[in-house]
Amino acid sequence: MLNDKIAKLINEQVNKELYSAYLYLDFANYYEQEGLDGFAHWYQVQAQEERDHAMMMRRYLIDNGIRVTFGEIAQPDKALTELSAPLKAGYEHEQYVTSLINNIYAEAFALKDFKTMQFLDWFIKEQGEEEKNAEDMIKKFELYGYDAKGLYALNQELLARVYVPSATGPAM
């Protein structure tokens, strides 16, 4: 059984991860409309990963005797006014998610909940990768995105992203 506060925080994080999936699908919708299928694909894969994160947390709660509850998923509200806007909003969002994961980790540490700390280790590492990926997207866009040929090439590169499930087996 988990400490109530830890269980509540992880349950809330399930919702935040599903919101992340919703947000990235919103970015994909925007890019589809702009004719950039590679950018749209990249964010669709990202949304699949976010769903995986939510499912991993849901499973952790269930396996520890917690009744998971679902709240409303907020409407994506980032202003997508130019092609680089989702990239910047995505980076800011990942920094926010990192702060949420760090907060849960800090609570687990304070409660000497070593099991949850070990569970969260995967997410701590993942957030480092997520932030780097988001930052790299901005850098690439700044370098190539303002030239038609460069934008075409970048779109093709992003189209090649392959979805790899975040975890397999009983964890999901």
Select from 53, 107, 113, 145 the one that contacts ligand FEO (CB under 6 A): 53
Q: Which is nearer to ligand FEO, 15 or 151 (CB)?
A: 15
Q: Which of 17, 41, 19, 18 lies closest to 28 in space, CA to CA?
A: 41
97 in contact with ligand FEO (CB under 6 A)? yes
In the shown chain, the binding pattern of residues 112 to 141 toward ligand FEO, with x for contact by CB under 6 A and - for none, equals ------------------x-----------
Q: In this complex, which beta carbon is closest to ligand FEO, that of residue 26 or of residue 50?
A: 50
Q: Please state the separation of Cα 151 from the chain's center in Å.
A: 24
Question: Taking the complex as a whole, how short is the minimal distance between the CB of residue 7 and ligand FEO, in angstroms?
Answer: 19
Q: How far is the CB of 101 from ligand FEO (least distance, A)?
A: 8
Per-residue mark of binding to ligand FEO, 9-38 (x: CB under 6 A): --------x--x------------------
The site for ligand FEO (CB under 6 A) is made up of 17, 20, 50, 53, 94, 97, 130
